[in-house]
Amino acid sequence: MYRPLFAVIDLAHLSHNIRYLKSRLRPGTSLMVAVKADAYGHGVRAVVGRLVREGVHHLAVASVEEALEIRAFHRGVNILVLGAVTPDACVKAAEAEVEIALTDLSPIEHIPRLPKRLRVHLPLDTGMNRLGVKRTDEAVALARSIAAREDLELVGAGTHLAAADAEDPAHAEGQMDRLGAFVRALEDAGLRPPRVHAGNSAALLRNPAWHLDMVRVGIAAYGYSPDPSVLPAPSLRPVMSLYGGVLRVAEAQPGETVGYGATFAVQRPMTIATVAGGYADGYPRQLSNRGEVLIGGELRPVIGRVCMDQLMVDATGLEAAAGDIAALFGYDPPVAWRGGWWSRLRPEERAARVQETYRMASNVEKRRVLSLDRLAERAQTIPYEILCRVHRRVPRVVCD
Ligand SMILES: Cc1ncc(COP(=O)(O)O)c(C=O)c1O
């Protein structure tokens, strides 16, 4: 670690969130955690390791590639590929004992026998209009064809709720009603699979009647409500914090401007801190002149346009120094990281020192949080997108 920019992945908070979410589940409902897109940007290996320790048996990914990445270090856990699959992906999934969602049998119609029994879910389109079977008779016919093949096993049926976090639950209720019709038709045909699922984080937080046999939770595991204005979840703790080092502190006078396009005009004598982290790292450029950074124990505004690799902050009146660490989002940096801390460390000891000191001020959870909810709103996006887009050039320091 030479460049002072890193994300802390707090596994204790992941554990806390999983325990909290389990406590909200209807008894008998299983928890599936979505770990697609490198576990929403957190790093799939560390996240899966911790989820398994927390007794999570079901994971969801978007592609067979993502499933195989997990299989390379974990054999025991169930993995469901949510996305559409090609014939070769079906063969790979069967070999790796990964579950897939099949909208029809066309991907495997020319494969007389898969190398191993493939476990299949029926994707049911109840109102999202994205993927899945739209009619109940189609679903029953597909379930029948699956039952007729010895190399397939029907283990689940699921739908995806488009608006479970909307203020008005009517859209989600409508989808649940249509799912009910699918399930009754499958039951009547004697083909109801063991796991029927619909819920995401919003459904889990909102209504136990939407939990069914399994809930597929994503964003809440990583510490955010899908929409805090409708579903406040103050018990959740952000798992990722993004930290950037102060690269330079300089004075500026009225008449000067800051950054590309000279969009910020200095009106009074001020101190400007240049902080590592830009849009190439995943910090949204939409936060130019709109973002906030936790620096020197205070929330301070981003001034000027966010650059590819740096951003500038109004640090007037702060005791900020080059080599301090600021939070671009997440928990306030420990006080130990001030006073030019980073530059005094040797590169090879930095990750270990971050791990040692991150929790040193004891309760991380009592520290101030720069919530992604607030930043995402200002960037006209959602925490999901910002988390997934933290670039792979940003080292993830896993803390416990
Ligand atoms: C099919 C499916 N299920 C569950 C989830 C998890 O959703 P959330 O992160 O809102 O809990 C996703 C996320 O995109 C999804 O696509």
Q: Which residues are catalytic?
A: 36, 260
C-alpha of residue 200 to centroid of ligand 1, in Å = 5
How confident is residue 363, by pLDDT bands cut at 50, 70 and 90?
low
In the chain, the percentage of residues whose pLDDT exceeds 90 is: 95
What is the mean pLDDT of the segment spanning 58-84?
Answer: 97
Mean pLDDT computed over 146-154: 96
**Lowest model confidence (mean pLDDT) among 119-128, 140-149, 347-356, 359-368:** 359-368
- Over range 307-335, report the average pLDDT: 95
Distances (CA, A) of 135 to 126, 160, 284, 287, 342: 9, 15, 41, 44, 59
SS (H, E, C) 264-305: EECCCCEEEEEEECCHHHCCCHHHCCCCEEEECCEEEEEECC
State the average pLDDT for the chain: 96
34 Cβ inside 6 Å of ligand 1 = yes
Q: Which two tokens stand for residue 27?
A: 């008894």
Q: Is 261 helix (H, G, I), strand (E, B) or coil?
A: helix
Residue range 146-173: mean pLDDT, rounded:
97
In short, whether 354's Cβ falls inside 6 Å of ligand 1 is no
C-alpha 230 – ligand 1 centre gap (Å): 17
CA-CA distances (angstroms) from residue 230 to 22, 166, 201, 225?
20, 7, 13, 9
Phi and psi dihedrals of 109, rounded to 5? -65, -25
Find all residues with CB under 8 Å of 83, minimum gap 6, and list them.
62, 63, 101, 131
* CA 23 / ligand 1 centre spacing (Å): 20
* 120-137 residue pLDDT tens: 999 999 999 999 999 999
**Would you say residue 362 has pLDDT above 60?**
no
Q: What local confidence, expressed as pLDDT, does residue 287 receive? A: 98
Ligand 1 pocket, residue 217 CB under 6 Å = yes
Can 11-222 and 240-399 be said to share one CATH topology? no
Q: What topology is assigned to 11-222 in CATH?
A: TIM Barrel (3.20.20)
- Mean pLDDT over 345-371 rounds to 85
What pLDDT, on a 0 to 100 scale, did the predictor assign at position 143?
A: 98
Confidence at 365, pLDDT banded by 50, 70, 90 = low
By the 10 Å C-beta count (0-12 exposed, 13-18 middle, 19+ buried), 393 is classed as exposed
Tell me the mean pLDDT in the region 167-193.
98
Residue 343 — very low, low, confident or very high, per pLDDT cuts 50/70/90?
confident
Q: According to the model, what pLDDT value does residue 360 have? A: 75
Q: What pLDDT sits at residue 367?
A: 81
Summarised one tens digit per residue, pLDDT across range 5-54 is 999 999 999 999 999 999 999 999 999 999 999 999 999 999 999 999 99
Residue 64 has pLDDT above 80, yes or no: yes
pLDDT of residue 364: 64
CATH class of the domain at 240-399 = mainly beta
130 is in an annotated binding site: yes
Per-domain residue ranges of the chain = 11-222, 240-399
- Contact 160 CB / ligand 1 (< 6 Å): yes
| Distance of alpha carbon 116 from alpha carbon 13, whole angstroms | 38
